[in-house]
Amino acid sequence: MGAQWKAKPKEAAANARGKIFGKLVKEIMIAARNGADPDMNPKLRLAVQQAKKASMPKDTLERAIKKGAGLTGETINYERTLYEGFAPHQVPVIVECLTDNVNRTVAEIRVLFRKGQLGASGSVSWDFDHVGMIEAAPENGADPELAAIEAGAQDFEPAEDGATLFITEMTDLDAVCKALPEFGFIVQSAQLGYRPKNPMTLSAAELEEVEAFLEALDAHDDVQNVYVGLAG
């Protein structure tokens, strides 16, 4: 949770699959602006990996690439925006959005932060490291510590379903992705994100309140990622 907040499985399953794909399609279209070939475009390659992990249909994936690369004649006007603030109990939160209307998005994010506190730029980002995050699954009992050292990752920690989360410098994300398979790991997803320096621990009742706040943020169509300073 400290690296990137994700909805619990039952809540994630309750969300429309199309909403999940919609967020991924935006990432693909933005990345494809720099070229439609994933082999020549590292950002697109990472976005495609995310989409495949989510089992996005091939035609949806290909259509998003073509649209983003300008091959369909349509204009893509999404802008990446970042909002910082606090969830209930002064838990630091960074919200990453992709929007075609910044004024609308900031107004709606401000409403969602009424149960917390929306801050100015830099109000909480100082308490996070901007890093590369790679989720990878081991093959044949591969050693994550050895893989991290050999592939050039800065750190690693357990992830969901027996996978490992490898932490990298931002500039090393693509290189570590390419190297991990040599050391027995299959890359499932990779992205740049925010990791808290001083994650907080809450009581069960406090955590429930914060989870409800984060779920409301994550449900917004323009919200791509939510990073939170919580331990565990």
Least confident of 17-31, 77-91, 146-160: 17-31
Listed residue (75, 23, 62) closest to 189, CA to CA: 23
Least confident of 17-26, 56-65, 151-160, 184-193: 17-26
What kind of fold does domain 9-68 have according to CATH? Arc Repressor Mutant, subunit A (1.10.10)
13: helix, coil or strand? helix
C-beta separation of 158 from 187 below 8 A: no
Domain ranges for the chain, please list them.
9-68
Half-sphere exposure of 96 (CA within 13 A, CB side): 17
Q: Which residue do the tokens 């890093």 mark?
A: 131
pLDDT value of position 160: 84
Listed residue (171, 180, 174, 172) closest to 151, CA to CA: 180
Q: Average pLDDT of the chain?
A: 89
Q: Per-residue pLDDT averaged across 73-93, rounded?
A: 92
C-beta separation of 151 from 103 below 8 A: no
Statement: residue 185 has pLDDT above 50: yes
Statement: residue 47 has pLDDT above 50: yes
Statement: residue 45 has pLDDT above 50: yes
* Six token digits for residue 39: 């082999």
User: What would you report as the CA-atom Rg of the chain, rounded to the nearest whole angstrom?
Assistant: 18
Alpha carbon distance 70, 105 (integer Å)? 25
pLDDT value of position 12: 47
